[in-house]
Structure 1
C-alpha cells in the first residue's frame, strides 16, 4: 500500500491521498442506511443501526428475559442484576451503574444547570425535572387513573391517588372524616382546622398554611409569571388566572345565573350581574 506522505521529499503524494480519500468515500457510501440516510464506516455498524428501524432485539437478558437491540445496552442492563457500579464520583465516592448517571450526579458538585425553561427562565440540573416542570406551562397530565379517569401531571401524585381506591388511606381526620394515605398529607390537612400558617413571606411577613401558597405569593414580589397561554403568549403568575384567561379563547361560560339563565365566562361578571337583579328587585319594592 502506497503511503500518501513521501518521507524522502517531505511532501504529500496528492495522487495517492486522493485515491485513499475516494476509497473511503465509496466505502462510507456503501454503508449508508436507505431509510434515514445515515452513513457508517463499517458494515457492522450499519447492521447494528438498522435494528432501530426493524425493531429487532437479538440480545436477551438471561435473568429477566428483557430484550435489547445492542449488546452494549444488554451489558449496561445486567448491572441491575449484578449490582455492579463501575462509575465512581471522585468528590464524594458515590458509585453508579451508568456513566450518564454519574455525569448527572456531578452537576450537584459543579452547580451546573444546563436545562432552562424558555417560558419562565427557571434552570434545572436534571432533564427529567425539566420535563416535569414544563407540564406547569403546557397543562399536560399524562398519568391517568384507570378507575375514575382523573389525570395527573406526575406519576407520584397518581400513585398517591390510587390509594383512595385501594383503601390504603390509613390517616383519618376526626374533624371532617377525610382519609389520607400519608402522614405528611394528614399533617398538612389539619392546618385547615387549626388555622396554623407556618410559611411566612420574608419580604412582607404574610403567612400561609401551605408552601405552594407561599410560592404563589412570592411571585407578587419577584414578578415571575410561569403560566403562559399557548394561544396568545400572555403570561400569569397563578395557574388559576391562566385558567380564567383561557375562557377568552374557548368561549366557555361556566357561570350561570339562577334567576335568568344568562351565562358568563368569569365568576366576577356573574356576581355583578346578580347584583343587578338585587337592585332591580329593590326598586320594584318601592
Structure 2
C-alpha cells in the first residue's frame, strides 16, 4: 500500500490553490499585470481564470512523468498523483462540521462546504453566470468558445466534458449501469434514470411562471414556453 506523506500532500494542495492568485508566467500566456484574460500558447483559447487555463493546458500535455506505484497509472502533475493515491489508501481526514461527511483532500472539503453556504466564487466574464467549482466554470466557458476537447475513440464525436464521453461510450457498449428500483428498467445515464423515476412518482418539479403548468423535465418546460408563450 502506498503511504501518503501528509505534509507533501498539503503542500501540493496549497500550490494548486495558489494558482488562481499566482502571477507567475504560464507558457508565455499570462499578461504583464497578472490580470486576465489568459491565453493558451498551444491553441490560443482564452480564459478569464488562471486555474481554468492550467486545467485546459493539461489536454495538450502528452508527457505524464508521475506514476502511481500501486496501479502504475501516470499523471502530468505531481498534485494529481497525490490526489489519486488517496483512492488506494482510503484516508479521509477532513470532515465537514455541518453534516459530518469526510473527504480525502482539504480542497474537496472546501468544495463540499459550498453546498451548505451556496457560495459561487467562479464567475463567467462573458455572461456573468456563477459557479461553485472552477471546473464547472471551465466546462461552461466552452459553451461560449465552442471548444470540445474530448472525443469518442469509436466514432470521433466530440464533447465539452470528459464525463459526457463516458456516457456516450455506452451507446457503443450497450452498458446500462443505472437501474430503476421500481420496475428494473436499465439506463445508460443517471439523468435518464431520474427522468424515468418521475413517471412512477408523478413528480413535476419544473413549472411555467406564466401559466403555472408543471413538467417532469426542464426540456418539456422549454418546449412549452416556445409553443405557448412566444
Q: TM-score, normalised by structure 1?
A: 0.42
**Structure 1 residue matching 2:194: 3-state secondary structure:** helix
2:188 aligns with: 125
Alignment-derived partner of residue 34 in structure 1: 97
In 1, the alpha carbon distance for the partners of 2:193 and 2:157 equals: 24
Q: 4+ runs of 1 displaced by more than 6 Å?
A: none
Deviation at 1:97, TM superposition (A): 0.8
Give 1:66's aligned residue.
129
- Note closer, same or farther for the CA distance 1:125–1:40 as it changes in structure 2 (3 Å cut): closer
Q: Residues 79-94 of structure 1: matches in 2 within 5 Å?
A: 79-94=142-157
Aligned-partner Cα distance in 2 for 1:153–1:131 = 10
Give the Å deviation of 1:49.
3.9
Partner deviation per Cα, 1:34-70 (whole Å, 9 max, x = no partner):
2233455665554444333222222221111112223
Match of 1:50 in 2: 113
**What is the alpha-carbon distance in structure 1 between the residues aligned to residue 216 and residue 106 of structure 2?**
44
The residue matched to 2:125 in structure 1 has which SS?
A: coil
Partner residue of 2:165? 102
For residues 195 and 206 of structure 2, the distance between their equivalents in structure 1, rounded to whole angstroms, comes to 12
The whole-number CA distance in structure 1 between the counterparts of 2:123 and 2:189 is 30
Structure 1: where are the runs of 5+ without partners? 1-27, 169-286
Q: Provide the residue aligned with 1:114 in structure 2.
A: 177
Question: Which residue in 2 is equivalent to 1:217?
Answer: none
Distance across 1 between alignment mates of 2:211 and 2:114:
39
Secondary structure of 2:148's counterpart equals coil
* CA apart distance, 1:145: 3.9
Partner Cα separation in structure 2 for residue 42 and residue 160 of structure 1:
42
1:162-220 CA distances to partner (integer Å, 9 max, x unpaired)?
Answer: 56644x7xxxxxxxxxxxxxxxxxxxxxxxxxxxxxxxxxxxxxxxxxxxxxxxxxxxx
Over the aligned positions, Cα root-mean-square deviation in angstroms equals 2.9
SS of the equivalent of 1:50 reads helix
Distance 1:144 1:89, change over 3 A: same
1:76-122 Cα shifts (integer Å, max 9, x gaps): 22111121111110000011110111111000001001111222221
Q: Which runs of 5+ in 2 are unaligned?
A: 1-91
Distance 1:163 1:61 in 2: 27
